[in-house]
Amino acid sequence: MTQSQRICLVFFLQPIALGAWLPHIPGVQTALGLSNSALALALVGGPVGTSSALLVAGWLANRIGARKITLVFYPVFLCAMLLPFLASSQWLLMGALVLVGGSLSVLELGLNVLADDYEKDTGRKIMSKAHGCWSFGLLSGTLIGSAVAGLRFDPFVAGLGIALVVQALVLPIILGLPERAAGAGAAVAPKRQGVRLPHPLLLGVCVFTFGTTLVEGAVADWAAVYLRDAFAAGPGLAGLGISVFSLCLATTRLFGDRLRQVAPPGRLGQGLAVVALVGLAGIWLAPGAPAALAALGILGVGAALAFPLGVSAAASAPGTSAASNVAVLSFVALLGFLVGPLIIGPLADAYGIRAGLMALAPMIGLSLVLAPFLTRAANRQQAQSAE
């Protein structure tokens, strides 16, 4: 098995447990008697944990290296994914999701640095393909979760089985990856002199990514609720909304590295932002569940490459190291997962779930405007390589 295949498999296996949880969100909402606003507050736990952990994740990646991070945090994350199924109140659900978000953020930072290290060491593009594999893993998990929900099987038992199988499969794959010196490739930096703001180029890339990654978080949290509330879909059908979104997102990512070679990243980011807006309009106008599923698929295409493009651009932007830059990107981008539930939940209670999801429109518009920062970062990397 080649190094690139190992990295892609590690990406594929990671989100299966997460995907298996997502179709159960409406059921947990009903079981705990939560309104959309109360559910939104509980779901904030995930991005709170993510954002908090990312404050130290970049330092940790530079300290011990991406390979060790994946070895340590894979089992931590898989154990944390079992906790939401055990929550008996809104606050316990929030606490469980804090632990999920924290472990997830550190693990995903390690995965992204692994892929970026491979691209820099070999000159071969793998980032979009790796994220495509991640999306197929999420799709596999949502299909499993939808089947579990439809058959009314115990979700905790299913989650435990997933955790054991995934850990058994991923351990030898990670051990087969080469050990890269911690902090390798980092720029020589002066001693710390307090808090430093990100370089404007990095900040632009981060805000671009924030605008579109907000879509991924919103669909993960609310797609099943949308299909249930708008079209009276049952648990199995409601879970398919996430699956359709993930399938279209994953398939687009498989072609992402090829698209990156034929189109400037900024132009590519702008085009996909327009596609995302078309999908969002379809969600508003959908007369029935089939049309809504199609709209979610279009939205998945539009959201597909924002984070892979953002990771590559951030790693090329000025900063202490690629790992630190990716950590900053992840922190800013994943704030969308914090903002999304807080906005969508209350809007859904007041005006309906369709109106709540329309809060994504200005955020996608922000990505459309800021996409040229991706090209600037790519040009900077090419200029440095030519020197």
- The CB-side HSE value for 236 (13 A sphere, CA atoms) comes to 6
363 close to 211: Cβ distance less than 8 angstroms: yes
Inform me whether the pLDDT recorded for 291 exceeds 70: yes
Distance, in Å, from the CA atom of 256 to the CA atom of 111, rounded to the nearest integer, reads 18
304 close to 253: Cβ distance less than 8 angstroms: yes
Mean pLDDT of 115-127: 82
Q: Which residues, in sequence order, are CB contacts of 311 under 8 Å at separation 6+?
A: 112, 115, 116, 127, 326, 329
Inform me whether the pLDDT recorded for 323 exceeds 50: yes
Q: What is the mean pLDDT of the chain?
A: 84
Mean pLDDT of 199-225: 84
The segment with the largest mean pLDDT, out of 58-67, 116-125, 301-310, is 301-310
Structure tokens given for 55:
């404050």
Inform me whether the pLDDT recorded for 10 exceeds 90: yes
Res. 77 pLDDT band, cuts 50 70 90: very high
Structure tokens given for 278:
């078309």
250-290 per-position pLDDT tens digit:
888 888 878 878 888 899 999 999 999 999 999 999 999 99
HEC string of the chain?
CCHHHHHHHHHHHCCHHHHHHHHHHHHHHHHHCCCHHHHHHHHCHHHHHHHHHHHHHHHHHHHHCHHHHHHHHHHHHHHHCCHHHHCCCHHHHHHHHHHHHHHHHHHHHHHHHHHHHHHHHHCCCCHHHHHHHHHHHHHHHHHHHHHHHHHCCCHHHHHHHHHHHHHHHHHHHHHCCCCCCCCCCCCCCCCCCCCCCCCHHHHHHHHHHHHHHHHHHHHHHHHHHHHHHHHCCCHHHHHHHHHHHHHHHHHHHHCHHHHHHHCCHHHHHHHHHHHHHHHHHHHHHCCCHHHHHHHHHHHHHHHCCHHHHHHHHHHHCCCCCHHHHHHHHHHHHHHHHHHHHHHHHHHHHHHCHHHHHCCHHHHHHHHHHHCHHHHHHHHHHHHHHHC
Distance, in Å, from the CA atom of 50 to the CA atom of 105, rounded to the nearest integer, reads 5
Inform me whether the pLDDT recorded for 311 exceeds 70: yes
Which pTM value belongs to this model?
A: 0.71
Per CATH, the number for 3-179+199-386 is 1.20.1250.20
Res. 295 pLDDT band, cuts 50 70 90: very high
21-52 per-position pLDDT tens digit:
988 888 899 899 998 889 888 988 887 887 78
